[in-house]
Structure 1
């Protein structure tokens, strides 16, 4: 009987505790950083209809974010090279923790949670030389820094959690000046896609062919049979190079050029990439004002045009949600763009799906 009273008291206490899950902030499916009309910056949650479910302030321009798998917590990262990663309670905008990399390190704009939410992984560089590191943070210990892994490349940018618990790392290959981001090694850069096991071991490291060594691997999307990646060309802009790459499981990297008339449409710059559960790929270019839709094998399906479009994430099995710098939110598939909503905001480069998909 005493045990039952204790149990019931526990239930009553739980009933009055604040809800910490995503339901507490309107069950958003995506998050994105934005600049507000007054010039201030914020991180916003978006629902399936493109409505803003929460908006929390940021101290400066944000880049991407990592969303906790079940708690209404976001880590918002500064534009690279950055020194802040803010762990934010999305219910009230409170900063739970301000993350700073160790001395001589810089955040590189992206991070990811382990599937159980116990670890946070952060993309980092050693400021001098741009050697890549993956920071490890213990969420249950108040985001205590507990170690790091080698990213096995120079200038890592986006990292993605793989289904086996390991990480895919886009090592961009560019050594930059730690103060002004000036590239220092364009004539000798070697970007790679690294797969790191759940214990930090190197599983594989694959590079593009020599003629595409100046194609910096920047952003990633998980495909049914591999990984898609978006690149930014650092060489002669007169050369038409593929900006979408495919890394099939166990096979070499390969570029996927669009049809000849579209070769220069992205202006040598891909800003984001997303993939649906069915394997459709969207790759965006804010410079070119285009979105290209491809099949999972890299075959080009369509080119859609919208000024300053960049943020991309999967919306359902066959379609995408996209954001642009004019405040619009779009639904897209191979057949075209459809306006979902618009806000008095300038959306930043990335749209992050809660749960890590897309």
Structure 2
């Protein structure tokens, strides 16, 4: 059996590249790591790199982007503007050809994330209905090769951020609870009354299947980002809008049918993570969970079976997370530059060697497609 250490040694002999998760349903082509990035001159890009960190393509963007939604066949992706955003770009894979740019309807702003339906013919976008003071999910359908807006659904809360398709066919929405208005930029307008929740929607009708919030005394916890394990366990990481020194739980675990959210505290205090988690990812088999605290340059690891925390690691401005191709391994990207693979079981690091990967300033999220 090939162990991780055997794999690392073998890979190093071949040039120190990472083993990105193989692509399913996209032929035998090599997988690509996809992420928004900035260069040293303040330019904004959608970039793809190979397992060595070398660039495959890089497209300039009108503004900073945030989340990347991958088509189930991995033949295209949607790149979503950072909130409050005005564009979603669609690209073909692996060539990176731009297919379409979606624009926000009047009275709406994109909120950073999107998700495709199981058949890839529908795109769901998180949006802010700023005059209606509510969150919505934009529903875009494929017609004659183009995505066309068909309708929108209430997101079940305020400030929806990430949306994912659950293995059971429902949509999972992280309603962050924070009210904003484009005339006020990213100002948070309701911190005294905010209330986040995790909401499940029927992906065909938009009907709310369940909604789960936090206790009243923790109402300033904002539910932001999501990851779903192979068996359907939802993990969400939070950002606290209260005092930075107050100790609060920052990780949520939940499965459809559970009566309430399970909230967990990190193994370190807010002096290390500053009550702000940026990304979350399950590993390949759903036993390990990684979460990033970019403001504290810390990465945390939770073992689901033992309900125990591994030793956290320091990684400068590390935020982007994605499962690597072996269990208990994660890809980590940095806003300061660089992408690496890390294993919390043995503490081994495997940086991408190409200078391009270390030169670009990677945004908060990435996927392998």
TM-score normalized with structure 1 length: 0.87
- Using a 3 Å threshold, how does the CA distance of structure 1 residues 192 and 42 change in structure 2: closer, same or farther? same
What is the deviation of 1:337? 5.3
Query: Which residue in 2 is equivalent to 1:117?
Result: 120
Task: Map 1:11-22 onto structure 2 (within 5 A).
Answer: none
- Greater CA drift, 283-292 or 329-338: 329-338
Query: Contact 2:320/2:365 (CA < 8 Å) preserved in 1?
Result: yes
Determine if the alignment matches structure 1 residue 275 to structure 2 residue 282.
yes
The change in CA–CA distance for 1:183 and 1:337 in structure 2 (over 3 A counts) is farther
Residue 102 (str. 1) matches residue 108 (str. 2): no
2:168 is matched with which residue?
Answer: 164
How far 1:349 moved relative to its partner?
0.7
Aligned to 1:176: 180
Task: Note if 1:55 corresponds to 2:51.
Answer: no
Contact preservation (8 Å) 1:257, 1:263: no
Match of 1:147 among 146, 151, 169: 151
List gaps (5 residues or longer) in structure 2. Answer: 1-24
Alpha-carbon contact 2:166-2:232 (below 8 Å) kept: no
Aligned residue for 2:190, secondary structure, equals coil
Supply the distance in 1 between the matched residues of 2:350 and 2:337 (Cα, whole angstroms): 11
Once structures 1 and 2 are overlaid, which stretch shifts more, 26-35 or 215-224? 26-35
- Aligned 1:1-358 pairs, distance under 5 A: 27-70=30-73, 72-90=75-93, 93-141=96-144, 142-179=146-183, 180-199=185-204, 200-223=206-229, 224-251=231-258, 252-259=260-267, 261-276=268-283, 277-296=285-304, 299-316=308-325, 317-334=327-344, 335-336=346-347, 338-341=349-352, 342-354=357-369
**What is the CA deviation profile of residues 240-283 of structure 1, one whole-angstrom value per residue up to 9, with x for unaligned ones?**
11211111342211221123x44432111101010122321101
Compared CA separation, residues 191 and 147, structure 1 to 2 (3 A): same
Deviation at 1:300, TM superposition (A): 1.8
Residue 152 of structure 1: how far off its partner (Å): 0.4
Deviations 1:155-204 (CA, angstroms, capped at 9, x unpaired): 00000111122110000000113221211111111100001123222111
CA contact (8 A) 1:85 1:100 kept: yes
User: Could you say what secondary structure the match of 1:110 adopts?
Assistant: strand
Measure, in 2, the Cα distance between the counterparts of 1:328 and 1:288. 17
SS at match of 2:42: coil
For the residue of structure 2 that corresponds to 1:154, the secondary structure is coil
Structure-1 separation of matches of 2:95 and 2:330: 29
With 94-103 and 45-54 compared, the bigger mean Cα shift is at 45-54
Alignment check: 8 A CA contact 1:129 1:175 kept: no
Which stretch shows the higher mean deviation, 329-338 or 75-84?
A: 329-338
* 8 Å Cα contact 1:28/1:47 also seen in 2: yes
Question: Aligned partners of 1:253 and 1:105: how far apart in 2?
Answer: 29
- Contact 2:167–2:232 (Cα < 8 Å) also in 1: no
Distance (whole Å) between structure 1 residues aligned to residue 309 and residue 143 of structure 2 = 44
**Cα distance in 1, alignment partners of residues 212 and 334 from structure 2:** 32
- For residues 121 and 50 of structure 1, the distance between their equivalents in structure 2, rounded to whole angstroms, comes to 30
Distance 1:186 1:38 in 2: 34
Contact persistence 1:158–1:169 (CA under 8 A) = yes
The structure whose Rg is larger is 1
Partners in 2 of 1:263 and 1:182 — Cα distance?
23
For residue 145 of structure 1, report the CA deviation from its aligned partner.
0.7
Q: Answer whether contact 1:28 1:53 (CA < 8 A) is retained.
A: no
